[in-house]
Amino acid sequence: MKSILLVHPLGYSAARAKTDVSRMANIMPPLGLASIAAYLDQYHLPNHMIDCYAHPDSDEMILDFLKKENPAFIGFSCTTSSFFDGIRIASLAKAQCPGIKIIFGGVHVSALREHLMHQYPSLDYLVVGEGEAALKELLTTPLADLPTVKGIVFRTDEKKVIFTGFRTKMLDLDTLPFPAYEKLSGYPHVYKLPIFNYPKVPNASCISSRGCPYSCSYCDRSVFKKSFRYNSATYLYAHLKYLKEQFHIQHINFYDDQFTFNRERVESFARLMIENKLNLTFNCAARAEHLDFDLLLLMKKAGCWMISLGIETGDPDLLAQHRQNPDLDMMREKINLIKKAGIRVKGLLMMGLPGETEASIHKSRQYVYSLPIDDFNLAKFTPFPGSPIYKQITQKGSDLGAFDEDWEKMDCMQFLFVPKGITRERMEVLFIDFYKSHFQRFSVLAGYISMLWKSPDSWKRFLKDLTGFLKFAKSNKRM
């Protein structure tokens, strides 16, 4: 029977992984790929999974597997920054197994589709959008019938590139098996949540929804379009119970864009957690408009340890250009309610959105520093293919700013887009100063000191990788 090797590329050289500060702080399992593996198992389609991000020295592992198993397919799930590493591994696979077919999927592929097939002749197939059903049909459909499989891109015998169109029937998420965590080598111990973002280990990541009902300028719309689906409370509770019983997980981080969008679901889930204790804590992300004090108290009782909120910017005029419901006063009010309920708060921000100025960055700093947040993450804005702002930037060009579209560097750790009216060098200075000033505040320092007993493993990791963090800080200081 045809088998497939599923690969999650690293995105850069294995040597760089040892000094990559983002890996030191956070290694997330490829949950989408693990879901696909479990789905294929349901149909008795043999598959194996290798996560190069968790195991950077994976080339030999991949080649050994190809030599022993000679799979018919090798599939890659890629972000923009990891796409070229996927292409590199695909070339190795072709050299080892000349007849192997190369399949790519993921957000980058879904956004650019046929363009990639024309540009990279080593690609045999692309899976566009939701991957499970499309990949299963691709693996089991005769070549002559491939045009009937929705959600794929392929080449005809005449080398013509065909996109079969988007799938119209989306999966009921409650019918899916739990991701094939057991196929991730070293799970759960090789995977790490962001430091100071959890109380206990081992911990894990989970996604209980797909898509988002909002239309912010910077978010990808290529995979799930404007759809939004989520697991029921009973499925979600069963998922956590499985992780607890099978892998002894102590804490879960939900990577849903909108965990609290459906209030009834969250209430039901919280009551299940309260009435049938798993002794698990959890984090989630939410929009301020979907939180209220009664719900927060219930979530706290159910084990909610931290909530992340997308603040994005503290400049109301800039925020209004890129996000729906840009109400910073409401944001402040809801953050105070989260703290009142006894839950930690993490603020998520971006610097460098189109329209950003030095004055708007100053407003963001003042706003953030006035909030009682416990942690924050400041990303360097990157216009990814598939987001509305990417199309605007590539179409309007220098009217919005300068964009160096270097896919390998598009990891939100570098300013590849620089808004009009400001320089990249000045952006770097303001970025470092934003972070430096934040960590020099007494309330922030006191909060991290309290993590000695609230999250002791985080401090162990921080001290273990202290040299790497200091090197990163020095290298940024020189920019």
Q: Are residues 144 and 264 in the same domain?
A: no
Amino acid, single-letter form, for residue 238: A
Q: Are residues 323 and 465 in the same domain?
A: yes
pLDDT value at 371 more than 60 = yes
The overall average pLDDT reported for the chain is: 93
Residue 412 lies in a domain: yes
pLDDT at 69: 95
pLDDT band at 1 (very low <50, low <70, confident <90, very high): low
The counts of H helices and E strands in the chain are 19, 17
pLDDT value at 193 more than 70 = yes
* Phi, psi torsion values for 310, nearest 5 degrees: -80, 95
Q: Are residues 159 and 283 in the same domain?
A: no
pLDDT value at 93 more than 50 = yes
Q: Are residues 335 and 449 in the same domain?
A: yes
Contact yes or no for 282/311 (Cβ under 8 A):
no
pLDDT value at 473 more than 70 = no
Answer with the residue of higher pLDDT: 462 or 293.
293
pLDDT at 478: 43
Q: How many domains does the chain have?
A: 2
| Dist CA 99 CA 117 (whole Å) | 18
Residue bearing tokens 């189109």: 354
User: CA of 302: how far to CAs of 237, 288, 296, 435, in Å?
Assistant: 11, 19, 10, 33
Residue 279 lies in a domain: yes
pLDDT at 471: 64
Choose one of 124, 142, 163: the last residue of a domain. Answer: 163
The pLDDT of 81-100, averaged and rounded, is 96
The pLDDT of 387-416, averaged and rounded, is 92
Instruction: Render 391-429 in DSSP notation, one character per residue.
Output: HHHHHHGGGTEEE---GGG-SSSS--EEETTS-HHHHHH
Instruction: Render 276-316 in DSSP notation, one character per residue.
Output: S----EEEEEE-GGG--HHHHHHHHHHTEEEEEEEEE-S-H
Residue 182 lies in a domain: no
pLDDT value at 479 more than 60 = no
pLDDT, tens digit (0-9, with 9 covering 90-100), for 50-63: 999 999 999 999 99
pLDDT, tens digit (0-9, with 9 covering 90-100), for 19-29: 888 888 899 99
Q: Are residues 144 and 208 in the same domain?
A: no
Q: Are residues 296 and 402 in the same domain?
A: yes
The pLDDT of 102-128, averaged and rounded, is 96
450: tokens are 């309290």
Q: Are residues 296 and 152 in the same domain?
A: no
Residue 169 lies in a domain: no
Residue 130, Cβ density class (10 Å: 0-12 exposed, 13-18 middle, ≥19 buried): buried
* Percentage with pLDDT > 90 across the chain: 83
The pLDDT of 58-71, averaged and rounded, is 95
Residue 181 lies in a domain: no
Residue numbers of the domain that contains 78: 4-163
3-state SS, residue 339? helix
Tell me the CATH number at 325: 3.80.30.20
Q: Are residues 65 and 211 in the same domain?
A: no
Strands 209-211 and 228-230: antiparallel
3-state SS, residue 175? helix
Choose one of 147, 163, 179: the last residue of a domain. Answer: 163
pLDDT band at 199 (very low <50, low <70, confident <90, very high): very high
The pLDDT of 105-133, averaged and rounded, is 95
pLDDT, tens digit (0-9, with 9 covering 90-100), for 406-432: 999 999 999 999 999 999 999 999 999
| Nearest to 458, CA basis, from 189, 187, 194 | 194
pLDDT at 217: 87
Residue 184 lies in a domain: no
Q: How many residues are recorded in the chain?
A: 479
Choose one of 144, 163, 182: the last residue of a domain. Answer: 163
Q: Are residues 127 and 224 in the same domain?
A: no
Residue 168 lies in a domain: no
pLDDT value at 214 more than 90 = no
| Dist CA 241 CA 235 (whole Å) | 10
pLDDT value at 224 more than 80 = no
Tell me the CATH number at 45: 3.40.50.280
pLDDT value at 262 more than 50 = yes
Beta bridge mates, 5: 48, 74
Predicted TM-score (pTM) of the model is: 0.94
Q: Are residues 375 and 319 in the same domain?
A: yes
Q: Are residues 146 and 244 in the same domain?
A: no
Residue 336 lies in a domain: yes
Helices 456-464 and 442-454 sit at what angle, rounded to 10 degrees? Answer: 110
Q: Are residues 54 and 131 in the same domain?
A: yes
Residue 171, Cβ density class (10 Å: 0-12 exposed, 13-18 middle, ≥19 buried): middle
